[in-house]
């Protein structure tokens, strides 16, 4: 009987060893760190709550503007379709894209306003100027050469047109008008404020329009010389004008 009792105790001891080995043997160390508790100033917190930039409950910039709210929803939908639920990155791309388009449009407008910019102007300077291509960028010397050529070829109608353009060049150089291919002759008459020049300019404008747009040809050199003297008298007064 004693042997059986010893055998039972040994049996229980052997099969209880694995359970004892799996017991948690973690030891806890008592925390001795001193915690410094801080109190926030309630008045300062209330001041922060009143500021929009610290309002994280809503987004006023989109709530108050239905167009921006709809656009933001569209961007969220696009971002979700691209695999991201955050549309901020796409919104920034669109924002800077609009800025770039605006800058590009502004540069295009400036280039158009100044005849296509430096590159176009350099190409244009290499091309010969003709009676058909004379504009506000043509110099007085270039126009005079075309006038001399037209007279030598008895092209008096073309010469009258060039004489009129030379008057516009003189008026523009004196800052009495602003010569622009988008304006009409009436615009120049209205723009010219010097009465002493205006009456003669009106008369030469009438002759120019009668010959050029009416497609009338001057019959001989003597008739052309009378017209040319009128333009030259006007040009002399413009060049001598002070003010």
Using one digit for the tens of pLDDT, what is the confidence trace for 25-42?
555 566 676 766 677 677
Using one digit for the tens of pLDDT, what is the confidence trace for 95-141?
677 888 888 878 776 766 554 444 444 444 556 778 788 889 899 99
Rounded to whole angstroms, the Cα distance separating 205 from 215 reads 15
Top mean pLDDT of 50-59, 91-100, 110-119, 166-175 is at 166-175
**Residue 172, exposed/middle/buried by CB under 10 A (0-12, 13-18, 19+)?**
middle
Rounded to whole angstroms, the Cα distance separating 18 from 21 reads 5
Q: What is the separation of C-alpha 40 from the centre of its chain, rounded to a whole number of angstroms?
A: 49
Between 148 and 5, name the one with better pLDDT: 148
Window from 87-101, 163-177, 190-204, 223-237 with minimum mean pLDDT: 87-101
Q: What is the mean pLDDT of the chain?
A: 76
Rounded to whole angstroms, the Cα distance separating 185 from 10 reads 126
**Which 3-state string (H, E, C) describes the chain?**
CHHHHHHHHHHHHHHHHHHHHCCCCCCCCCCCCCCCCCCCCHHHHHHHHCCHHHCCCCCHHHHCCHHHHHHHHHHHHHHHHCCCCCCHHHHHHHHHHHHHHHHHHHHHHHHHHCCCHHHHHHHHHHCCCCCCCCCCCCCHHHHHHHHHHHHHCCCHHHHHHHHHHHHHHHHHHCCCCCCCCCCCHHHHHHHCCCHHHHHHHHHHHHHHHHHHCCCCCCCCHHHHHHHHHHHHHHHHHHHHCCC
Window from 74-88, 156-170, 227-241 with minimum mean pLDDT: 74-88
Q: Supply the pLDDT for residue 118.
A: 46
Residue matched to tokens 């979700």: 80
Residue 164's pLDDT band, with cuts at 50, 70 and 90, is very high
The dihedral through the CA atoms of 205, 207, 209, 211 has a sign that is negative
């Amino acid at each position: 009987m004693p042997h059986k009792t010893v055998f039972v105790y040994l049996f229980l001891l052997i099969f209880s060893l694995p359970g004892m080995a799996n017991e948690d043997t973690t030891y806890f160390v008592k925390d001795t760190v001193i915690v410094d508790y801080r109190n926030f100033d309630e008045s300062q917190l209330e001041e922060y709550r009143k500021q929009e930039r610290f309002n994280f409950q809503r987004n006023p910039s989109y709530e108050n503007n239905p167009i921006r709210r709809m656009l933001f929803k569209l961007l969220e939908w696009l971002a979700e379709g691209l695999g991201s639920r955050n549309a901020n990155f796409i919104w920034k791309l669109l924002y800077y894209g609009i800025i770039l388009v605006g800058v590009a449009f502004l540069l295009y407008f400036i280039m158009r306003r100044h005849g296509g910019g430096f590159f176009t102007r350099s190409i244009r300077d290499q091309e010969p100027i003709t009676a058909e291509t004379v504009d506000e960028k043509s110099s007085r010397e270039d126009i005079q050469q075309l006038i001399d050529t037209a007279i030598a070829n008895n092209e008096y109608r073309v010469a009258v047109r060039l004489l009129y353009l030379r008057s516009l060049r003189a008026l523009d150089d004196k800052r009495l008008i602003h010569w622009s291919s988008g304006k009409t002759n009436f615009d120049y008459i209205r723009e010219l404020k010097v009465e002493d020049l205006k009456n003669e300019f009106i008369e030469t404008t009438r002759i120019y329009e009668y010959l050029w747009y009416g497609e009338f040809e001057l019959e001989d050199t003597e008739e052309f010389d009378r017209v040319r003297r009128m333009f030259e008298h006007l040009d002399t007064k413009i060049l001598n004008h002070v003010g």
